[in-house]
Every structure is written in C-alpha cells, then in structure tokens.
Structure 1
Amino acid sequence: MQPLSAPWPDPSAYLARVRPDAPLLFLSPATLQATARRFLDGFPGLVTFAVKANDRAEVLANLDTAGLSTFDVASPGEMRAVRAMNPNAVLHYNNPVRSLEEVAVGIEMGVASWSVDDEGELDKLSQVPRGAEIAVRFALPVKGAAYDFGEKFGASPARAVDLLRRVAAEGWRPALCFHPGTQCEDAGAWESYIAEAARIAARAGVRIARLNVGGGFAAHRHGTAPDLEAVFARIKAAVTRAFGAEAPALVCEPGRAMVAEAFTLAARIKGMRQGGDTVFLNDGIYGGLIDLRDMGLTGRIQVLASDGSARRGLGRARRIFGPTCDSLDRLPDGLELPEDTVTGDYVLFAGLGAYSVAMSTCFNGYGLRDVVTVLRLTGHCPHGS
C-alpha cells in the first residue's frame, strides 16, 4: 500500500512504472472527501457512514478529515476499527440481530444509537442505558432498489407500532429507521417509507426523536451519475409533508454512494482463448469483483496496455473468468473490451470502492489486498468520473 503522503499522479502512471501482477485498488482521497462534503452539505440531517461498505483505515481517516463524526457499525470489529481511527467517534449500531456478547461490547463502546425489529431482540437490549436512542426498524414491499433489504430485516408496520410504544415506555429515546435497499434509483421508495413512518408514530402515539432514512443512495454505474441532491430534496419534502410541525431530525447512513467513486479497481488479463472471446483476469467474484456478480456489469471500464496507454479499439463482448480453479468464478456475460486488447493488459473498473476490498476472499491464494493512493482518477473511464 502506498502511503497517503506520497501519492502517485494517476493509475496509468503507477501501472506503467510498477506493472503489478496482482489486482489492486486506486484511491483518490480528494474524491472521497469531496463526496463526503457533498452529503454533509446536501443531506438535511446527520450523515453517518456505513462502515461495511469499506472499512479500510484510509477510508475512515479521510471521512473523519472531511467532517464525518458518526459511523454506522454492524459488529464489534467495525466498532474497534472506527475507535482506532477516532476514539471520540459516535457509533450507531444498526445491525438489528446481536448476540448478548455483542450487545455487551456495544454498551462498553458507548454506542449512541441502536436499531431493533423484534421483541426478542429488544429484550437483549435491557442493559442499554436509558436515554440512549433505540430506533425501530420496519420494512415495506417497496421496489426501486437492486435488491430488497426488507427480506432479512425490518418489522411489519403493525409490529413496529408495538415496539415503538415499548421503547418509549421503557425510557429510551424513540426513533424509527428503514433501508430502501441497495443501489436505490427511485426516490419514491424513500417517500413511501417516510409516509409509513409518520403513520407508525401516530398509531403508537409516540413522537419520535429521529428518523433514519437508511442508505441505498445509488452510485454511478452507467451513463449519467445519480442526482443525489434531487433525492435529498425529495426526502426533505416528504418528511415535511408526512410529519408537518412534528418533523423528526433526520439521519442517513450511505455506504456504496459514499465510497464507490473514490476507487478504481485494476485487474490484469492473465490469458485469452477462443480468439479473445474468453478472458481470464487475476481478480474475480471471490475477490474485488464480487459486487458485479450481484449488481450486474458496470459500463465504466477502460483497458490500458502495460505501458499505461489506452486501448481504443471497438468494443467487443467477452466471457470473463476470474483466476481461481472454480468455474463459478465468472462475471455476467457481455463485458465489452476493446478489439485490440491483449494478454497482459489492465482492465480498470471505475467506481468500485464499495463491497470490493471489504468482501474479497483469499480463495486459492488470490484476493484483493493492495490500495494505492493517487492524486486523481482521471483518464480511467470513457464517460468521465
């Protein structure tokens, strides 16, 4: 890993000089901090970061520098990573299913906000100091995201009413939370959830202190980048419409949209077969490209020769395999690479800062481990970044 104090100019400069044979991520701290400021300036409430998306120390430190003081953690390991970066950081523990041992660690770490979606899980929080915030998480059958988080977490609205009453009655600060699902490209999903949150609070007879509208903000994967400010504006308007004068304070917990754009993943072509129609990379679904298996192919790639120059031939759809011995290690078909692509070239995937290094395994001795700091991520995407 290159130290932040000595960044390379850009990915092509590093690849031409070092010619690495293992996959790596390029990090632009300037891009990461600019994205954080975009959320801080635009979102009408508290901005936290979902650490699960990328828990690298460089990421946490840059977000702290940009002004984020609160982090959404899902495990004791993530709590410790945040506190190692900033002992005074505020922790929100929004994984609603915890062991008693994990609850004890959260209490010891001074978690400020907890979420819950089940009576039994609320029982586990009995030792959480009164005055701490407990947010009841609810779920709706709302479309608009790449996949639905409500299949795993979230009480029905009727159960949320009962849980919210109990949270308030037992002396915790009552709140509500939801998650519209990852890569949500329809602001209407937030509007539906916000309207239901107001109905839950009214039925429970509880004035909530805060409403956590989750993450789900879309990252740039194809064509035009998502208009985050338009989503922020619709969230704000929906809260005013639903709650009126009793509008709660807002919280969001972006993960993907916060870190994706600050990283470019570089994988090298190990071999090509069948006239170039089948390509083997040194990274795949057991490494940093795992998110492409679930989210589909990104349109933001470029191929560089080993000297750092760009391949500019016409695109041709290929079959792409990763480096392991498992035949399942394969990207969705149809990734277009330039006609003049050859073995030894580098395929650069823009916007892969989320769920890449965080989910990479070491299966078969492969894996994404290295992060190289650059001043800019320019020239790596035909459509810009």
Structure 2
Amino acid sequence: MFAGAQDITQARFDRARISAVIADRQPDDPLAILRPHVLQRTAHSFLRGFPGQVSYAVKANPATDILRTLVGAGVTTFDVASVAEMHAARQALPNARLHYHNPVRSASEITQAKALGIASWSVDRMSELDKLGQLTPNTQVAVRLSLKRGGGAYDFGSKFGASPEVATDLLRAVVARGMIPALTFHPGTQCTDPTSWADYIAACAEVAQRAGVRLAALNVGGGFPAFPRGGRTLRQHLFETIASATKAHFPDQPPQLWCEPGRAMVADAMWLLLRVKARGDGVLTLNDGLYGALGEWRDMPVPARQTALNQQGHPVTGTPQPFTIFGPTCDSLDRVPDPWMLPAGIADGDYILISGAGAYSLALVTPFNGYGTREVLNLDSMAEPAGQCRPAG
C-alpha cells in the first residue's frame, strides 16, 4: 500500500474509533486525540528523508506523550525555547541533545540552561552573544540570519534574525571567542516555496565567506508545511532542494545540516473533538475556542479540517453553509475570524472533529473563565471498533 492510500485508510480507521467514543461516552469536555502511529510515521519520514540531522521544536506541542513517542521513533535532539521545555525534553530522554535557539534570554535563563548542558545556542545580536559569557568547550553558537523575503504564512524575521552584515560580524566574534561557528535561519511557518531555502542557503554561504569562517553546522530551520498541496512529494522536494543548494554553495566542506520541524512533525498526530454548546442563526458556540486549543486560528489560516458528527458519531447531513464560531468564554472576542463551512443540519450536542490540530493547540490553552481542562485520548491504547481491522504498516 502506497503512503497516500495508507494515510487515508488509517484516517478512516481512526474516525471509526472516534465515532465509537462519541456513541459510548458522549464527551462534554474537549477531547485531544493522540495518534502515535501517525507521529511515528512522520518522524521516520524526516529521519530518513532529510539530508542531515533532525531536532524537534518542542514549542509546537510539548505534551509528554508526544515527546516520548518521538524518542521511541528515534528523535534524540530537541529545539527548546525555554527552561521548562529543556526539562520536558530531559524527562522524555535524559541524555537528549538540546538546541537553545530562542536567541533572546535572561541572565538567569542562561545560567539554568548551562547547567542543563545546552549543545547549541543561537544569537542574532552582539549583546546576546556577550550575555552567554564563557561556554564549555565544543559548544556551538549559531548566528540567526534573516532575509527580507516572504514565503511563509507569517514572517519570523520581524522579531528574530540578523541582517547579512550583522551576521558576518557575529560569526567572526563567535570564532574569536573560541566557540563552534554555525548559522541558522527560519523561512517562515507553512513555507511551501523551495526557493526560500535555496536563497537562505546561498546567503549563508556568502556570510560565511565574507566572515572568513568555515561553518561546522547549518540549521535550515523549521517552516516545513503541514498538509501542503503535493503532500509528502513536496516535502521530499524540499529535502532535495536543501541538499542540492548546500552542495552547490558549500562545494568543498559542507557543514553538518540540521532541521527543526515543529508543526510539520506533529500537526496530524493529534485531532480535536469539540462539542456544540449552542446553535443560533448561522452561529455555533463550542466548548473550546481562542482561549483554548483554537488560539492560533486568530492569527493565521490553520491547515486543519472540520467534520461534523452527530451524537451517534455519524456524519451530520445537510448542505454546507458558513457558521460563525464562538468559544465558550464570556469574551465576545473569543471568536474564530473566518466562518467554518459545516452541514446545515448541525445541532446542539453534536460534535466537530478537527483533524490536523496537533501543532500550537494544547500548547496555547489557557484557564480563562475556568475552561482549559481536557482529556488526552490515546487512540493506540483503544480497542478496535466492531467490524474494523487495524490497517497494516
């Protein structure tokens, strides 16, 4: 069975198990539905397909089950943005390699990070390099580069990253202080343009040449899209573009390549099951919203899909129509900006299954108005529904 057909078969099997949960339990609180088998398969696709080493960006989903599943799949390096994420990674794998690539830190955070044994740091300004002080031998410092170009759903360069001129000076300073030199960049989240990576790699080579520095490592960031048109074929094309660009621009001694997927790694590893609390005229109020697992919907289009299910777990019927979506809190701003197209027959007490919701969902949940608690349901630990056979592979 080829990959695309396997994905479809697995999704149907998982939906059948979710329908059984609805019929049996009638869950009234939001459910986060973990799909470890999908996460393992995605991790393998990065570990086997990317032309270098892979780290996981913990910020996308720091759930314990997510981290443990990744470790079981062979991931041993984690990109951490805070001390709390360092501890989470260490709990999942005590000897994990940690990359602290949030380039802005307090003095106390640096002290705690040093005690936890960071293997790679990033900087985008001289003052942050000065803050690091004396590092242990063989510690890598990656200068974060930012270019004025689009390509992602939103631009990470507006907050982080040095211009090529500043990056050149920083790279020289890293070497002068006896640290292992590297460069890193991020093309922007949900980036589907291969030339973004190619352009950044070319710029990194130029910065290194101007600085007179031989790079030990080049981190090509995250930004890999979840659910792009072209699916796994596009991801493989991105990997091939990264490999060929690195070979072209670093022909003699290419640096060790790293990537740090977050969204692309975990998006399809978790689904959300939400319940309709009330229906109005073209309006649905759900038991979760922008203060919960839908927080990212406020800022950008999320690559997720909604399926309406009735209280027996069967698809809701009716012609699709736009519905304004409100969350459960008393804040009128708790509203998804764009309407969702859902069947006209959806009613109070029905459910909405949101697939592709593993990234930046649980990580953004708040306790506002007393909401925020939810159960995480592991599909792999459930019994198979009657009449369903687990897909092979």
Does residue 33 (structure 1) correspond to residue 40 (structure 2)? The answer is yes
What is the match of residue 202 of structure 2? 195
- For 1:173-188, list aligned pairs within 5 A: 173-188=180-195
Choose which of 321, 346, 349 in structure 1 pairs with 2:351: 346
How much does 1:8 deviate? 11
The superposition leaves residues 61-92 of structure 1 with CA deviations (integer Å, 9 ceiling, x where unpaired) of: 00000000000001110001111121111100
Is residue 278 from structure 1 mapped to residue 278 from structure 2 by the alignment? Answer: no
Is 1:24–1:368's contact at 8 Å kept on the other side of the alignment?
Answer: no
Residue by residue over 1:86-107, the C-alpha shift from the partner in whole angstroms, topping out at 9 and shown as x without a partner, is: 1111100000011111111111
Structure 2 unmatched runs, 5+: 1-13, 386-393
1:225 pairs with one of 221, 231, 235: 231
1:348-367 alignment to 2 at 5 Å? 348-367=353-372
TM-score normalised by the chain length of structure 2: 0.91
Q: Quick one: distance in 1 between partners of 2:317 and 2:46? A: 35
1:75 maps to 2:82: yes
- Residue 10 of structure 2 corresponds to none
* 1:325 corresponds to which of 330, 333, 348: 330
Cα displacement (A) at 1:243: 1.3
**Which of 102, 105, 112 matches 2:119?**
112
Name the aligned partner's letter for residue 317 of structure 2: R
SS at match of 1:33: helix
AA partner of residue 207 (structure 2): I
Give the 5 Å matches for 1:1-385: 10-220=17-227, 225=231, 227-274=234-281, 277-296=282-301, 298=303, 300-367=305-372, 369-375=374-380
SS of equivalent to 1:302? strand
**Deviations 1:292-333 (CA, angstroms, capped at 9, x unpaired):** 222225562101111111113221111111111111111123
Q: 1:36–1:66: 8 Å Cα contact kept in structure 2?
A: yes
What residue ranges of structure 1 are gaps of 5+ in the alignment? Answer: 1-6, 380-385
Q: 1:231 to 1:312 in 2, by over 3 A?
A: farther
String of CA shifts for 1:245-274, please: whole Å, max 9, x gaps: 221110000000000111111110000112
Stretch deviating more after TM superposition (112-121 or 305-314) = 305-314
Question: RMSD over aligned Cα, in angstroms?
Answer: 1.9
CA distance in 1 between partners of 2:136 and 2:302 (Å): 46
Q: What's the CA shift for 1:219? A: 0.7
1:191-220, CA deviations, whole angstroms, 9 ceiling, x for partnerless residues?
111110000000000000000000011112
CA distance in 1, matches of 2:285, 2:168: 53
CA separation in 2, counterparts of 1:349 and 1:299? 6
Residues 127 and 369 (structure 1 numbering): CA distance in 2 closer, same or farther, change over 3 Å? farther
3-state SS of 1:240 partner: helix
CA deviations over 1:30-59 (Å, ceiling 9, x no partner): 001110000001000010000000000000
Q: Secondary structure at the match of 1:10?
A: helix
Structure 2: distance between partners of 1:9 and 1:350: 14
Letter in 2 for 1:271: A
Q: Secondary structure at the match of 1:101?
A: helix
CA distance in 1, matches of 2:316, 2:143: 52
- Kindly state the Cα deviation for residue 225 of structure 1 after the two structures are TM-superposed: 3.2
Equivalent pair of 1:30/1:376 in contact (CA under 8 Å): no
Residue 22 of structure 1: how far off its partner (Å): 1.0
Residue by residue over 1:119-150, the C-alpha shift from the partner in whole angstroms, topping out at 9 and shown as x without a partner, is 01001111221320000001011211010000
Instruction: Sort the Cα spacing of 1:108 and 1:368 in 2 relative to 1 into closer, same or farther, 3 A.
Output: same
TM-score between the two structures when normalised by the length of structure 1: 0.93
Distance 2:137 2:304 in 1: 49
Amino acid at match of 2:300: M
Q: Which moved more, 1:284-293 or 1:192-201?
A: 284-293
Taking the aligned partners of 2:43 and 2:76, their CA distance within structure 1 comes to 11
Say how many residue pairs are matched: 370
Q: Is the 8 A contact 1:288 1:355 kept in 2?
A: yes
Q: Give the aligned residue type for 1:301.
A: Q
% identical aligned pairs: 50
- Residue by residue over 1:343-384, the C-alpha shift from the partner in whole angstroms, topping out at 9 and shown as x without a partner, is 1111011100000000111111112532101139999xxxxx
